[in-house]
Amino acid sequence: MLCALLLCLGASACSTNEPLRIESPAAPTTPAAQSSIPSTSEWQAWEQPFSPAQVREVLLATDLSAVGTQENSEADIREYLTECDKCLIALPGYETAGEKFQIYSVGTAGDSYSFASFAIRDDRGKPQVALAVGGSDVYLSAGKEGSLVAQEAVYKPDDPMCCPSGWSVRMFRYQDGHFVQGDSFSSPFDPTQEQGAEQ
């Protein structure tokens, strides 16, 4: 009787009113989706020194033709920036050589599918685009040994949007005030998941 009572108490202490959510570890996720929801202070830190409104203004004044693709043209990117406040997505910043860069992506509001990603620097109190990459579900994030990594999903014609066949990765190094592209490689796995497994 005592054992049954203790078992019931233990089970009720572990239960919640929240519904059970089952997650598949094999399902690929984007860098924005796989990080935990940031606190208000983390968002404020990411949005320093420039707010999304300031970044949006400088992006709209920038030639975006280099990041346009056949699927998402420069005009499409400008339309998202102009018409959709939630389509400019703040990501964790990147620091190297004592300089901080804010990372922003432009993508769809519903599923955070990114088609352009930018590293923004502080140029004497004004935001400046230091690096811009475009592609299919492309994100910039901090990599190993001070690199900045552009990760892009690679889809075969029959791949569903949730599940790309692989990833294309480009590494950038910050040298003499500029980003220089270094190594590039393809991976069948999400590189951000591999990094998470190593830590």
pLDDT surpassing 60 at residue 152: yes
The candidate with the shortest Cα–Cα distance to 69, out of 27, 132, 142, is 132
Q: Say how far apart CA 77 and CA 134 lie, in whole Å.
A: 10
Residue 121's pLDDT is what?
95
| Among 91-95, 164-168, 192-196, the range of highest mean pLDDT | 91-95
pLDDT surpassing 50 at residue 184: yes
Residue 25's pLDDT is what?
32
Distant-in-sequence, close-in-space partners of 118: CB < 8 Å, separation ≥ 6:
55, 59, 103, 104, 105, 106, 129, 131, 132, 133, 140
Each residue of 78-132: pLDDT tens digit? Answer: 999 999 999 999 999 999 988 999 999 999 888 878 999 999 999 999 999 999 9
Percent of the chain surpassing pLDDT 90: 46
Work out the average pLDDT over 154-161.
81
- Dihedral (CA of 57, 63, 66, 71) sign: positive
- Per-chain mean pLDDT for the chain: 77
pLDDT surpassing 50 at residue 144: yes
Each residue of 8-18: pLDDT tens digit? Answer: 444 444 433 43
Residue 151's pLDDT is what?
92
pLDDT surpassing 90 at residue 70: no
Residue 45's pLDDT is what?
59
Residue 51's pLDDT is what?
92
Q: Say how far apart CA 46 and CA 81 lie, in whole Å.
A: 19
pLDDT surpassing 50 at residue 41: yes
